């Protein structure tokens, strides 16, 4: 069974940095795209950053220039380096992967979420 396990959330002050990690485990044939969404209280879940198998990236306008997505393909792991954090970045961050498992068709998988709080 495929699992996405996130780590690295926490509480920081404005201007500080955090690095999130997400590792995909299980019988995986290929990972087509992997990235991060976030959901703040009372708001819809939104895309933060996505990295495709071919190396293309997509960032939300609100995080461009501050967040960087990267990966370690050998470890099926994606990272989100978050710099110059702002209070409006406070949310639960969810790892997302569109992948092909050994046992079935390509589909979306989600992590359990990790809390990021930015407050002075």
Task: Write the pLDDT tens digit of every residue in 58-75.
Answer: 999 999 999 999 999 999
Question: What is the C-alpha to C-alpha distance for residues 10 and 59, in angstroms, rounded to an integer?
Answer: 21
Phi-psi region of 99 (alpha: psi -120 to 50; beta: other; left: phi over 0): beta
Question: What is the C-alpha to C-alpha distance for residues 38 and 60, in angstroms, rounded to an integer?
Answer: 11
For residue 15, what pLDDT is reported? 98
Compare 96 and 103 and report the one with higher pLDDT: 96
For residue 32, what pLDDT is reported? 95
Token pair 């996405």 is found at 4
The separation between the first and the last C-alpha atoms of the chain, rounded to the nearest angstrom, is 40
For residue 37, what pLDDT is reported? 98
pLDDT at 103 over 90: no
Mean pLDDT value across residues 19-46: 96
Q: Kind of pairing, strands 10-12 and 114-118? A: parallel
pLDDT at 104 over 90: no
């Amino acid at each position: 069974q495929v699992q996405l396990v996130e780590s690295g959330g926490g509480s920081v002050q404005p201007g500080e940095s955090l690095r999130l990690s997400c590792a995909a485990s299980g019988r995986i044939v290929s990972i087509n795209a992997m990235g991060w969404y976030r959901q703040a209280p009372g708001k819809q879940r939104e895309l933060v950053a996505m990295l495709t198998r071919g190396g293309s990236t997509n960032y939300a306008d609100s995080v461009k220039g501050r967040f960087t997505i990267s990966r370690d393909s050998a470890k099926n792991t994606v990272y989100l380096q978050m710099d110059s954090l702002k209070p409006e970045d406070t949310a639960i961050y969810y790892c997302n992967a569109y992948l092909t498992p050994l046992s079935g068709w390509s589909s979306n998988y989600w992590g359990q979420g990790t809390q990021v709080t930015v407050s002075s």
